[in-house]
Amino acid sequence: MNIKILKSENIEKYIINDYKPLIKYDENIKYNDANVKPEFNFYELDGYSYFEKNFDIKERIIGFGEKAKHIIKNRERLIFYNYDQAGYTRDSDPLYVSVPFFISVSNNITGYFINNPSRIEIDIGLKNYNKIEAKIDDSGFELFVIHGNSIEDVIKTFTEITGRTFVPPRWALGHQISRYSYYPDRTVINVVKEYRKYIDVSAVYLDIDYMDDYKIFTFDKERFPDIKKFKEELNAMGTRLITIIDPGFKIDQLYKYFINGIGKYVINSNNEIYISRLWPGNCAFLNFLDADSYNYWKSCVKEFAENVDGIWLDMNEPALFNDERTISGSALHYTNNGFIKHSKIHNAYSLLEAKATYEALKEIKDEFFILSRSGYPGIQRYAAIWTGDNKASDDDLKLQISMIVSMNLSGIMICGCDLGGFFGYSSPELISRYYKAAMLFPFFRNHKVKEGNDQEIYLLPEKYRNEIIETVNERYKFIDYIYSIIKLSSLTGVPVIRPIFYNDPYDETAYYIEDEYMLGDVLYAPDISDTEVYLPSGRWINITTFEEFNGKSYIKRDKNSIFIKLNSAVIYDGSIIIYGNGDFKLYYPDELLIKAGEDSIIFSRPVKSVIIPLKKAKATGDNIKYEYNDKYTKISGNLKEIKFQ
């Protein structure tokens, strides 16, 4: 087996058997040849290549992206082959997104990323108690080994390799609604109007029933006779329009998008168009590895998207109605270097589709939003991810927290779940609990299958409707901070949603807390269980009562279980709360630098409202007003500097 090792400051790159990556990363990273003996075991057997490393008895493994598992992945065998696992529950595997990247926390903190978009199996101490073994369905691969002093260091380097998150428009962080399916146009308008009597609806999604016979890039003219006027009416209410797009082009000689794509599709071994079934019937599928095919998709998107605000990429694993549930592994993609079997590019199909969609929309729109069900490392540059077709349950409620945390640990920062659960019956109480659990997720959308119960807020009992209103309103108090953390992530690679052991990876208790999470420096313990809140190491203050707590302690959980870490600056309800000392960077909306010391706080530009917990203070600036009590000082006006008394 041929092994080439390259080295940068904190990355070792292993190239196995001269592998030529189909998805290229790290092109801006400078490496030097490393003439060292590999510390890992690499071997090949029966056409597969293998990577093996020792697994210490105190080592913890986290990451791996979208997996229906606990945050700790020890003693698991995981499969990476994008798959439509409809109605999944805990331990269903594989799912829609493949991220063969993990972080090892032991005496050292190290990241491992296997770049090969074919099927991969990774065994974490299950087959062999003291080994981690990866089996790659190819003769070669790239392995990136990332060294860091913290979990944050490793993630920042991983996203330097694979790309940093896109920054969505602010409206895409608001409360969104969907149903399989809302139609016709007047029904959609009326649903939005009813919702908006109670809470904001920043976007509404149209599922496949808006199309003409389920043909992509079309509208049913009876259900949506004037899509331009329809979009304008929604936009006038403050609601954006996002439409679903699947990957299959219906085989239809009168369907221009299929006809114009001939010569650009995935083929079989007889050089015929590879055909399989999707919603409209027999379909063909573009070969995104070919430049002409890639550009053809872009042209279709640009023509279609004039009258929508965003695109929802679904079924893009791809998920098909055949025995394999996807494109056959033996189907062929043409490239400049010859033909490649689909099995060798499968996990990256959705990544290339999302990239083409992003480029197309960027050419015609100042702002837009893309949501994708499937992905591979790098998807974060182009699209948000939702966790697919979950099944409503109390366990799924907590599972979604673990999944969103794990995706952020793996570079996918803008993600969320179907509020209420896509499949299954969700009681009004359970719907409210989903809203609470996901209150600070970057993506926040209510979505339900046709056969499911109605989840619209205006149909729920008053008790649970009021709970949801309260949750949504509380989320909106954090919208500016969610945006600020996403913007910071786009520049530095830090995760948006974090596990509560993020700042202290050696706080052993924190690894087992899966009903809490952090948004930046805010710890949120949603009121979804009877367990006590665990505060990890450090010092914390409640965001509304300003009561202080020591870390590594348990306290009672209630609906106000939201805390700020000492030495942080967060944005909440129009004010900047500065708790402790330090140099902080916020995007509110543009870059704001804050230098908070023992005696004063200095801003790089004037700010409007600041809250200083547990201190008395005076400010310099214009139109200054003060609100004092024994818990905090609130100062508003045109503030330039604050001095403590």
Catalytic residues: 314, 317, 389
Cβ atoms of residues 99 and 377 within 8 Å? yes
**Residue 92 has which token pair?**
């269903």
The angle subtended at Cα 298 by Cα 293 and Cα 302, nearest 5°, is 150
Order of strands, edge to edge, in the sheet holding 60-63? 32-33, 3-7, 11-16, 141-148, 109-115, 101-105, 60-63
Q: Is 509 helix (H, G, I), strand (E, B) or coil?
A: helix
Angle at 533 between CA 57 and CA 420, to 5 degrees: 95
**DSSP result, 542-584:** ETTT--EEESSEEE---TT-EEEESSEEEEETTEEEEES-EEE
Nearest to 407 by CA among 396, 417, 418, 419: 417
Residue carrying structure tokens 């380097």 = 157
In which residue are the tokens 């202080």 written? 548
The encoded tokens of residue 390 equal 């979950």
Sign of CA dihedral 464, 465, 469, 475: positive
Note whether 289 and 295 are within 8 A (CB): no
200: left (phi over 0), alpha (psi -120 to 50) or beta: beta
Sequence-separated (6 or more) residues with CB below 8 Å from residue 369: 168, 169, 172, 203, 240, 242, 309, 310, 311, 384
Render the burial of 585-598: b for 16+ CB within 10 Å, e for the rest: ebbbeeebebebee
Distance CA 183, CA 13 (A): 51
Tell me how crowded residue 38 is: count the other CB atoms within 10 A of its CB: 16
Other C-beta atoms within 10 Å of 477: how many? 16
Longest C-alpha distance within the chain, in Å?
Answer: 82
Structure tokens at 53: 């490393």
List, in sequence order, every beta strand (DSSP E) within 344-479: 369-372, 384-386, 415-416, 418-419, 445-446
Q: How many residues does the chain have?
A: 645
* CA distance linking residue 109 with residue 131, whole number of Å: 17
**Nearest CA among 2, 259, 297 for reference residue 140:** 2
CB count within 10 Å of CB 295 equals 14
Q: Quickly count: other Cβ atoms within 10 Å of residue 278's Cβ.
A: 23
For residue 157, give both structure tokens. Answer: 């380097």
